[in-house]
Chain A
Amino acid sequence: MLKINKIKFEVNTDSGLYGSNYEFSNGLNIIRANNTSGKSSLFQAITYCLGFEEIIGGRNEKTMQSVFRDQVEYPKDSFHKVIQSFVYLEIENTNNDIITIKRSVISNSDRKPQLVDVYFGKLIDNKEEILPDSKPMYIHDKGGATDEIYGFHLFLENFLDWNLPNVLTNSGDSRKLYIQQIASSFMIEQKSGWSDFFATMPHFGLANKEARAIEFLLKLDVTENKKRKQQISFNKRIIEDKWVTLNNQFIRLAEKGGGTIIGLEPKPAIINDYRGLNILLTKDEEEYSISNYIDLQVEELKLTQNKAIFSVGQNISSDETQLDKLNNFINNLSLNYELISTELNFDKDRLRSYKSQLNLLKIDLVKNKGALKVKKLGADFDLKTSNEVCPTCNQEIKDSLLPLEVEQVPMRLEDNIDFIDAQIKMVTIYIEGQEKTIREKDKKLDLYRVRLSEARGNVRQIKKELVSDERLPSIIEIENRLNLKKRIEFYNKLLEDFNQLIEDLKELSEQWKKVVIDESKLPKNFFSTDDDEKLTFLERQFKILLKEFNYTSQQSEFIHISRENYLPVISKPFGEETKDYSIRFDSSGSDFIRSIWAYTFSLLDTSIKFDGNHPKLIMMDEPKQQDAAIENFHTFLKRISSHVESQVLIFASFENSDEAFETATKDVMFNLVYIEDKLIKPIE
């Protein structure tokens, strides 16, 4: 928690020392002061010492009133020039550690207002000889929020035992949520603080900054979940990329072995059984898996090895049958080859025509779009034709130059453009399909070509053998054996590579499984059950307080806490669905002030109940805005006086009237801090 204990002003003027001293207690403190006596100056001084003055709308000494900068007026119409001024603020945290912050507004030495002195103990009213240790620190300057040794806000963050989250800025960087941004949720300033929820929150290039602040105050898991979701989708993308690469490796391997791959998953998947994945190799019109294929080859090799090598003469008859077989094979294949290449030509022709059609359509689209633009121009230019009115007879005409006898209704230009768009999409799909068939057929043709040349090579071998000396050993036999051996070696290596790839795939699939499991653990809308509970409580508490404060603009059942930015909204049915309206625009002026009262305190209540990060400090300058009735103000004070564990500082003028003060504070437990006369007055 953040507790304000004491504040002290020291203003040196050319006619002596001015200033004052105030003390605050736990629970409700009412800082009563007449207008112009320095109530808001006190408020501002507190924010100034904490380095939160950006919620007033500026930085450094500019945000402080002239009484600290230029001249002190005391008594009325008597002015004293300020030559130096300091503000001291004593604060306390949950562990009862006390520090005193000293910040100058103007100084006659070169002391800059960015500099603060932090005393590790009490300083105000300290009667002891030795002052506590102190350390200079910086606010606002680069590093103010991050510098471990000299950054005051980082020090304050640690002092409050806060751990401000990293948030994504509009420019996509990740940086810490600034402590000043949180401040606007519990410090409400008089001039613009009542115009909206968190009206004075500094922007710092952060989208949806209110939501981030509330997520922090209530310790919602949603931030963490969103971050995790980002991480998961990032991981998923990486795996997807790897998966595609791996698939390509499989395909290339299969091509290298002259086979086709089956059982590939195009997208990442959890695979339990890898047996479906294999490379199919063709032999004698039959397809075999790699290992079966190798077995076949090994067997064949064994058979040939058992046989003695025949001489050419012995081999003649088998050669002849072989030759017949080969010739048949070649004939068949050539026929197929011819067929497919004719088809291919036809396909390519069709592709060309699709492409030219696409081209025409694209030109047509450009022209139509131009025509539409010109038509709109013409309408602005007051051409009747553009408005489909005949310029001569003022009768309605169709948007077409076809002869009148043609009774077709042309499409509207806009529709025509959509129509062409749709056609372009269709033709694009045709083209893709056609390109795919062509690729496949090309591949097939290549394969045929290779097989044909192989077969023809074999035929040449056999023919050569048939005309050579009958007593020589059969070259074909020998070559056949050598080839078989080589092939077996080759496919063994291929099998090895293939198994290696499968190992990679297993690993990747395992990673995928992990990611999918992680993802399934994330709550759907990122809200954990705790979050839901907190938000429901916040909503309920908000409504209860609204009712107590006599809010009447909207019925309670329409009021909700938005799950987008956690601010109150009015949800009303709008046709089939419900639409959210800002409570600000759908409430009367004084009711909106009530909403800010209620919301500010329900945040505190929720944080206390669920042990959130709320500093348990609420400061409000002149909460009785917009002519809220004094009775309502009384209810408000009465209600918030129950917060004895927290600290609430209410700055109010009570219309400068004792009666109003009496009415508003009747039966309310509070500590009165009365600014008599003026905030800055002579010190005896």
Chain B
Amino acid sequence: MRDSEIKDIKFSKKPISIPVDYRPMYKIAQIVMILSITCTGNKSSLLKLHLLSWALKDDKNKDEVLELIKNNYDTDIAVWGIEPALNRALLFCISENICIIENGKYLLTKKGEVFFKLIIKADVFKEEFEFLNFVGKRKITDNRIESISNKWSLFNVKN
């Protein structure tokens, strides 16, 4: 038995696979796409960014948002997710000077616009483009989103 006695055990950390949503460049590209395709003046509130980023996560979320638009905001949307990862990506965006904060809203810079053109050229994110192009610049406005969230907090938040 002595021979097979274990002297010490070593663990080495292996890299793990992480969802693509946690990749900085994926998120940054997403932000650039949302701002360019769906926001008038390439400018958006944080809440709208979160809504659309959440929608892009999977088909179910997308359907829910599409349903909301089709029914003229009558349906009650289950609350959408607020992701810390998106906030971190936004921080990166700001310090890369891809967007700036103006009056509490995120605005795409010239550099961001150039980057968006590169993304179009690279011919990637077909599904994302399809969805965002459907949403377009007019269907979801900051005001609408604010009223939804107000309505939601009115009914669901105590005190």
Residues in A lying within 8 Å of B, measured CB to CB: 360, 363-364, 366-371, 373-375, 377-378, 381, 383-386, 390-392, 397, 399-403, 408-413, 415-416, 419-420
Contacts and interface: CB of A to CB of B under 8 A. Distances in A.
B29 A371 contact: yes
A140 to B, nearest CB: 48
Most buried by A among B17, B89, B115, B118: B17
A677 B12 CA distance: 88
Contact of A402 (B25, B85, B96, B124): B85
Interface in B108-129: 114-115, 118-119, 122, 124-128
B24 A400 contact: yes
A596 B128 CA distance: 62
Given A370-B26, A374-B124, A413-B23, A400 B18 contact: yes
A631 B114 CA distance: 69
Contacts of B128: 370
Nearest to B125: A370
Interface string B118-159: 110010111110000000000000000000000000000000
Contact of B24 (A392, A399, A403, A419): A399
Contact of A385 (B15, B96, B127): B96
A369 B20 CA distance: 10
Contacts of A371: 20, 23, 25-26, 29
A374 to B, nearest CB: 4
A178 to B, nearest CB: 45
A374 B95 CA distance: 18
B84 interface: yes
Contact of A401 (B16, B85, B127): B85
A558 B8 CA distance: 52
A374 B122 contact: yes
Contacts of B25: 371, 374-375, 378, 383, 385-386, 399
Interface string B88-102: 110010011010000
B125 A401 contact: no
26 contacts: A360-B58, A366-B126, A369-B124, A370-B124, A370-B125, A373-B124, A374-B25, A377-B118, A377-B119, A377-B122, A378-B115, A383-B96, A385-B96, A390-B95, A391-B96, A399-B24, A401-B24, A401-B27, A401-B84, A402-B18, A402-B22, A403-B88, A410-B15, A410-B18, A412-B15, A419-B17
B7 interface: no
Contacts of A390: 95
Contacts of A412: 15
A406 to B, nearest CB: 10
Contacts of B125: 367, 370
Contacts of A360: 58
Contacts of A373: 122, 124
A384 B96 CA distance: 7
A377 B114 CA distance: 11
Interface of B: 13-29, 58, 84-85, 88-89, 92, 95-96, 98, 114-115, 118-119, 122, 124-128
A381 B115 contact: yes
A373 B131 CA distance: 20
A391 B92 contact: yes
B52 to A, nearest CB: 15
Contacts of B58: 360, 363
Nearest to B27: A401
A627 to B, nearest CB: 54
A403 B26 contact: no
Nearest to B124: A370
Given A375-B23, A397-B24, A399-B24, 8 more contacts: A371-B29, A374-B124, A375-B25, A377-B122, A400-B18, A401-B88, A401-B89, A416-B20
Contact of B28 (A363, A367, A378, A416): A378
A308 B42 CA distance: 99
Nearest to B121: A377
Given A373-B122, A377-B119, A403-B84, A408 B24 contact: no
A366 B127 contact: yes
Query: Most A CB atoms within 10 A — which of B14, B88, B96?
Result: B96
B22 A410 contact: yes
A403 B92 CA distance: 13
B61 to A, nearest CB: 13
Nearest to A370: B124
A136 B87 CA distance: 88
Closest 9 CB pairs of A and B: A370-B124, A371-B26, A401-B85, A391-B95, A375-B25, A411-B15, A410-B18, A374-B29, A367-B20
Contact of A409 (B16, B84, B115): B16
A54 B126 CA distance: 53
A413 B29 CA distance: 15
B122 A411 contact: no
A314 B94 CA distance: 100
